Amino acid sequence: MKKVVIGMSGGVDSSVAAILLKNQGYEVIGLFMRNWDASLNNDILGNPTLNNNICPQEQDYNDAVAVCQKIGIPLHRVDFIKEYWDYVFTYFLDELKNGRTPNPDIMCNKYIKFDMFAKEANKLGADYIATGHYARMKDGMLLRGIDDNKDQTYFLSQVSKEQLKNVLFPIGHLNKKEVREIASKYNLITAKKKDSTGICFIGERNMTKFLENYLPNQEGDIVDIDTNKILGKHIGLMYYTIGQRRGLNIGGYENRMFVVGKNLDKNILYVALGEDNEYLYSDSCIVTDVNWLGDEKINKCTAKFRYRQPDNDVELEFIDDKIIVKYPQLVKSVTPGQACVFYLNERCLGGGIIKEVRKNNQKLWYL
């Protein structure tokens, strides 16, 4: 009997994934990862409100215990707090300091879930590792999950070919409704549990208050890029991303002005009027930290520049360890620091991190 070690998050997706694996005849072992020390901060510093004196992370663990007991599999617990801090949270802070918009969930998959977790699973004698991601593996290829609304290959784009060997995604062929129906059929405590939001394993918290513990606020001017008029004050460039319109607090302009750029040297946040303002659009970008999963390099495919974004037709030019991505039809709010993920129909070809955004051969965003 083949042994599978599955990451149990305390959510419905991993719960159902474990059931399906057991029904398929595998020896299934659950492994819960603790990646953040909730005691580092208290509620005043931005932690989620405690529920019955149990922090959300501990509640997730208790739910994972209940599910594993219900379906009759063992559950182990491992701490990756230091590793998460070193490889994910430090990256997150560094990107914010440099004015970019990071995606820690992608780095969590690369360094924690499919690296540290896999090593721990090997200690337990795993033949395979599994997660509750909405994705599929076929003939060594990473494919989109069947549920377009839940497909998570975007977040797996930095996981290497080697890391994807011997990986199972048991729910990739299901949609969310079907997953919850299975959980209800087995009367699992997670069947109606709300999906987690917020940053992976840090959870739902007041991000502004939370970041104040690690990065000092530097108030500066909000400037209309067309008129050069000062419209108000921002609370720190790290709290804003390209295309954002809410939370600008600039009086009568609320919901009509959009963030279009940042000047780190002068600590200026640039905004422009209208959701179709020309400053929001670009025609190419430079992508670095490339993780290519395709069999060979190609020059035409589609790409997503943000999760849930529709596919965009792109042309690729590989230069050394980077890719120049061209999209002459123009794409809105392509943002430095975010992932650019490549697809050929249902296959995920990998991706990289957007280093620079351009239009008419000019660098945008004034970073």
Closest Cα to residue 301, out of 291, 311, 289, 310? 311
Q: How far is the C-alpha of 65 from the C-alpha of 215, rounded, in Å?
A: 36
First-residue to last-residue Cα distance in the chain: 55
- In the block, tokens 């697809």 appear at 343
The confidence score (pLDDT) of residue 185 equals: 97
Q: How far is the C-alpha of 337 from the C-alpha of 143, rounded, in Å?
A: 24
Q: What is the CATH number of domain 3-185?
A: 3.40.50.620
**Domain residue spans in the chain?**
3-185, 216-273, 281-363
The confidence score (pLDDT) of residue 196 equals: 75
The confidence score (pLDDT) of residue 253 equals: 67
Closest Cα to residue 36, out of 89, 75, 76, 92? 89
- 68 in active site: no
Name the helix (H) or strand (E) containing 305. none
Q: Is the CB of residue 223 less than 8 Å from the CB of residue 108?
A: no
CATH number (2.40.30.10, 3.40.50.150, 3.40.50.300, 3.40.47.40) of 281-363 reads: 2.40.30.10
Q: Which tokens hold the place of 135?
A: 């994705």
Residue 178: beta bridge partners?
none
Residue 338: beta bridge partners?
none
The confidence score (pLDDT) of residue 38 equals: 67
The confidence score (pLDDT) of residue 4 equals: 98
Which of the 8 DSSP states describes residue 353?
E
Domain 216-273 has CATH 2.30.30.280: yes
Task: Considering the candidates 108, 285, 301, 340, report the single residue annotated as catalytic.
Answer: 108
Helices (H) and strands (E) in the chain, counts: 9, 18
Tens-place pLDDT, residues 61-115: 999 999 999 999 999 999 999 999 999 999 999 999 999 999 999 999 999 999 9
The confidence score (pLDDT) of residue 47 equals: 47
Q: What is the sign of the dihedral through the CA atoms of 353, 359, 362 and 364? A: negative
Which residues, including other chains, have CB under 8 Å from residue 3's CB and lie 6 or more apart? 26, 27, 28, 29, 124, 125, 126, 127, 128
The confidence score (pLDDT) of residue 215 equals: 87
CA angle 190, 193, 197 (to 5 degrees): 125
Q: Is the CB of residue 130 less than 8 Å from the CB of residue 6?
A: yes
Kindly give the parts of the chain with pLDDT less than 50.
42-51, 201
Q: How far is the C-alpha of 14 from the C-alpha of 291, rounded, in Å?
A: 26
The confidence score (pLDDT) of residue 289 equals: 97
Helices of type H across 72-219: 81-84, 90-97, 104-108, 117-123, 161-164, 176-185, 207-211
User: Checking DSSP bridges between strand 362-363 and strand 347-359, what pairing results, if any?
Assistant: antiparallel
Tell me how far the alpha carbon of residue 156 is from its chain's centroid: 9
Tell me how far the alpha carbon of residue 253 is from its chain's centroid: 31
Q: Which tokens hold the place of 109?
A: 């998959």
- 285 in active site: no
Q: Which tokens hold the place of 99?
A: 């004015």
Task: Considering the candidates 200, 301, 340, 348, report the single residue annotated as catalytic.
Answer: 200
The confidence score (pLDDT) of residue 42 equals: 47
